[in-house]
Structure 1
Amino acid sequence: MNSCHILVIEDNPTLCDMVRRRLNRRGYHTTSAGDGNKGLQAAKDQLPHLILLDMSLPGMDGWTVATRLRQSEQTRHIPIIALTAHAMQGDRERALEAGCDEFETKPINFERLFQKIDHFLTQIDEQQES
């Protein structure tokens, strides 16, 4: 499923660029948004296969973005992986409660992140085939 589109919602331009370059090298098509409001709009406009969502965004934070994505009929099916420096006890549960499907802490362990992405995209492939 290498033609998959992944939306990266991340306010740190350096990290966003690094994540996108790593994903592009793996054959994924990527787009990005630098804040929560733009990310929410991009998700609705682009309907990506998967979203990588920073939880600490300016304006609308990632917790709110995830909740709103889940509330929308248009976007509720899109898998969301939270990317966050928040590694405190309870943060994973909070992200999942907000609507994220998975949780990855920063600094990003790319091998682990790619396994999570592959897991969700394989599920999408299997659903489309059945």
Structure 2
Amino acid sequence: MSSQNPEELLRELHAMVLGLTQVIELDQLRRAVLSLVLGAEEEMLNQVKQLFLARQATKFDEAMMDRPITACGFSTRVNNCLTKGRILTVRDLVGSDATSLLLLRHFGRHCLIEVVDKLAEYGLTIKGWSGDCDKVYRR
């Protein structure tokens, strides 16, 4: 190396710097691609997780809808009225409207409020429920 003239040394040094620059740029590019891949992978994992949770919720909803009325924690009066009215599952209950429930023998305003409150605990409601018990009861 010492036998080279300064111009050759400068060219050699310049080539080494260019080589290092390319290595650095390549490393930066590799890191950027890796970051994008990991970000996309994380996003895909989040989407899969959300899909899994949605399916689990659907399974829970189906199980909840097929649950017997007698297992929902209603009072004896409500259980008896619904059973005699052939409303045996939560699915049957949420398919009923307030007017048809009020037509059941011995099923009155307090029973309706109990049903609506209990279904609300599960995130459910009866068909066409507006939230106004007085409005339905006056019909």
* Structure index of larger Rg: 2
Q: Which has the higher helix share?
A: 2
Q: Which has the higher strand share?
A: 1
**TM-score range relative to shorter protein:** under 0.3
TM-score, normalized by length of structure 2? Answer: 0.24
